[in-house]
């Protein structure tokens, strides 16, 4: 079975401070990991995926297979980063469907 | 970018009636569409996976006779909540994917269903 855990339900940081959202997973195979973001009153949208090794809106995430983690980081949080963030896992063994973590709400204070 | 629409955006119905929700991929062909349910302040729970031209695959615990899914074309999937009851009230979200999930899924805006 595949599982995604986001231990923090809420992260509150000041503007300009670093922010790190934790994500741990369990999966018996080679997973594909994603971060999705949902801004207020907007639909869920893809933020980044591990295979792309890209930085989107200043966010980066590195897949650590040894620790089974895919933490999301940004060195300097901005107020517009306030949103709900979901870590998700997909794997061929599960038919490429996504399993979501519980989500972390990020609040960036001015 | 890939756009997915849902209709209606919200619906209120009486207990015992059926409600159909449409999910469309507007500018791409979706080989697979997914239906999720989201309760307030909770994460998305996958209900079923729908492939064009074949029967949907339901997750454990999801009643296929209650949540009917039809994926008649590469751009349209429908979810029908049959004989709706108040406990079916929720936020239903669809997503669409092209070949393979490695490109991620594109999500619709969701449909808020309230059953009185």
| Average pLDDT over all residues of chain A | 91
Q: Which residues 52-111 in chain B show a CB within 8 A of chain A?
A: 57, 93, 95, 97, 100-110
Q: Which of A90, A96, A102 sits opposite B43 (nearest CB)?
A: A102
Residue A31 has pLDDT above 90, yes or no: no
Burial category of A34 from C-beta neighbours within 10 Å (exposed 0-12, middle 13-18, buried 19 and up)? buried
pLDDT tens digits along A67-92? 999 999 999 999 999 999 999 998 76
- Residue range A1-6: mean pLDDT, rounded: 90
Residue B102 has pLDDT above 60, yes or no: no
User: pLDDT tier at B101 (50, 70, 90 boundaries)?
Assistant: very low
- Residue range A11-37: mean pLDDT, rounded: 93
What pLDDT, on the 0 to 100 scale, is given for residue B21?
A: 97
Residue A26 has pLDDT above 50, yes or no: yes
What pLDDT, on the 0 to 100 scale, is given for residue A53?
A: 75
pLDDT tens digits along B47-95? 999 888 888 999 999 999 999 999 888 899 999 999 999 999 999 999 9
Question: What phi, psi does B75 have (nearest 5°)?
Answer: -125, 0
Under 8 Å between Cβ of B66 and B72:
no
Under 8 Å between Cβ of B91 and B81:
no
Q: What percent of chain B clears pLDDT 70, i.e. is strictly above it? A: 95
Residue A94 has pLDDT above 50, yes or no: yes
Under 8 Å between Cβ of B3 and B106:
yes
Burial category of B62 from C-beta neighbours within 10 Å (exposed 0-12, middle 13-18, buried 19 and up)? middle
Rounded-to-integer distance, Cα B37 and Cα B84, Å: 15
Residue A21 has pLDDT above 80, yes or no: yes
CA distance A49 to chain B (A): 8
Residue A8 has pLDDT above 90, yes or no: yes
Contact A102 B42 (CB under 8 A): yes
Q: Which of A32, A36, A86 sits opposite B101 (nearest CB)?
A: A32
Rounded-to-integer distance, Cα A51 and Cα A49, Å: 6
| Average pLDDT over all residues of chain B | 90
Under 8 Å between Cβ of A88 and A68:
no
- Residue range A50-56: mean pLDDT, rounded: 81
CA distance B42 to chain A (A): 7
Residues of chain A in contact with residue B102, where contact means CB-CB under 8 angstroms, are: 32, 49, 51, 90, 96
């Amino acid at each position: 079975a595949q599982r995604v855990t986001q231990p923090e339900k809420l992260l509150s940081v000041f503007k300009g401070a670093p922010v790190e959202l934790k994500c741990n997973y369990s999966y018996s195979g080679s997973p594909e990991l994603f971060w999705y973001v949902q801004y207020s009153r907007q639909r869920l949208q893809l933020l980044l995926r591990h295979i792309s090794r890209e930085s989107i809106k200043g966010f980066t995430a590195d897949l650590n297979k040894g620790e089974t983690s895919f933490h999301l980081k940004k060195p300097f949080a901005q107020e517009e980063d306030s949103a709900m963030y979901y870590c998700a896992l997909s794997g061929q063994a599960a038919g490429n469907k996504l399993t979501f973590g519980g989500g972390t709400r990020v609040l960036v204070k001015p | 970018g890939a756009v997915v629409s849902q209709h209606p955006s919200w619906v209120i119905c009486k207990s015992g009636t059926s409600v159909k929700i449409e999910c469309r991929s507007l500018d791409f062909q979706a080989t697979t569409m997914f239906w999720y349910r989201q309760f307030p302040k909770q994460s998305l729970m996958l209900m079923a996976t729908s492939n064009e031209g074949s029967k949907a695959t339901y997750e454990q615990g999801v009643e296929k006779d209650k949540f009917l899914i039809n994926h008649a074309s590469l751009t349209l999937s429908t979810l029908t909540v049959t004989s709706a009851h108040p406990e079916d009230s929720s936020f239903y979200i669809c997503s669409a994917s092209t070949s393979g999930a490695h490109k991620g899924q594109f999500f619709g805006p969701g449909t808020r269903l309230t059953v009185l």
